[in-house]
């Protein structure tokens, strides 16, 4: 009986250790930032939009997880980009600036609002991609230089 208890304790510890990385089907959930959101050259006073279907400049995340599982996609989006000497440039995201593709093809996305959580289903082999666009809004007197910001996508496998 003591041996049985130890075996069960071991199982419990193993289960707890694997909980953060393994799903119900035993596949780990991974999220990878594949491509940054690139605005390129921006002129003061001229808004510049990058669409989520832009194959070169849209941002992209790839997701791997349990086959056909439902996942909740949640963005943390910056309001501004930061440039030289702390200069700020407004960054805006529209109600269809994010897209989800189960096939991971940029041409077959379902648009969604990146400011709201979105429920998606991973493919039969447990994959999916999220694409994101946005609009940079430089002021007429925007300081010249390089600007950056960080976008975070959090993915949660739903029970």
Partner 1 sequence: MRTSKLSLAVLALVVIGASAAQAQTNNATITATAHVQTPINVLGAQALDFQNVFPGVIKVVPATDLAFAGRFDVTGQVSAPVTLSFTLPATLSFGANTMPIDSYTGIHADNGSQTGGTAFNPVTGASPSLSATGGLFVWIGARVVPATNQAQGTYTASVTMTVVY
Residues of this chain that bind partner 1 (CB under 8 A): 1-2, 4-5, 8-9, 11-12, 15-16, 18-24, 29-46, 48, 59-61, 65, 78, 81, 83, 89, 91, 132, 134, 136, 138, 140-157, 159
Q: To the nearest 10°, the Cα dihedral for 116, 33, 15, 120?
A: 40
Chain centroid, CA 77 distance in Å: 10
The candidate with the shortest Cα–Cα distance to 134, out of 73, 48, 74, is 48
Q: Which two tokens stand for residue 105?
A: 């093809």
| Cβ 11 to partner 1 shortest distance, Å | 6
| Cβ 140 to partner 1 shortest distance, Å | 7
| Cβ 6 to partner 1 shortest distance, Å | 9
Chain centroid, CA 90 distance in Å: 20
Question: Which CB, 46 or 105, lies closer to partner 1?
Answer: 46
| Cβ 144 to partner 1 shortest distance, Å | 5
Question: Which CB, 125 or 148, lies closer to partner 1?
Answer: 148
- Cα dihedral 137, 140, 142, 143 sign: positive
Residue 104, judged by CB atoms within 10 A of its CB (0-12, 13-18, 19+), counts as middle
| Cβ 100 to partner 1 shortest distance, Å | 15
Question: Which CB, 28 or 95, lies closer to partner 1?
Answer: 28
Question: Which CB, 23 or 99, lies closer to partner 1?
Answer: 23
Q: Which two tokens stand for residue 81?
A: 């980009």
Question: Which CB, 38 or 68, lies closer to partner 1?
Answer: 38
């Amino acid at each position: 009986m003591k041996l049985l208890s130890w075996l069960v304790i071991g199982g419990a510890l193993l289960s707890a250790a694997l909980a953060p990385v393994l799903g119900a089907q035993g596949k780990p959930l991974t999220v990878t930032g594949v491509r940054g959101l690139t605005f390129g050259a921006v002129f003061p006073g001229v808004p510049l939009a990058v669409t989520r279907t832009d194959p070169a400049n849209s941002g992209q995340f790839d997701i791997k997880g349990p086959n056909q599982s439902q996942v909740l996609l949640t963005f943390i989006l910056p309001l501004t980009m930061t440039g030289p000497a702390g200069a700020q440039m407004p960054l805006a995201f529209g109600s269809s600036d994010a897209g989800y593709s189960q096939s991971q093809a940029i041409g077959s996305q379902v648009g969604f609002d990146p400011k709201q959580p979105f429920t998606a289903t991973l493919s039969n082999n447990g994959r999916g991609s999220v694409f994101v666009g946005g609009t940079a809004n430089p002021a007429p007197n925007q300081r010249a230089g390089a600007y950056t910001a960080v976008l975070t996508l959090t993915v949660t496998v739903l029970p």
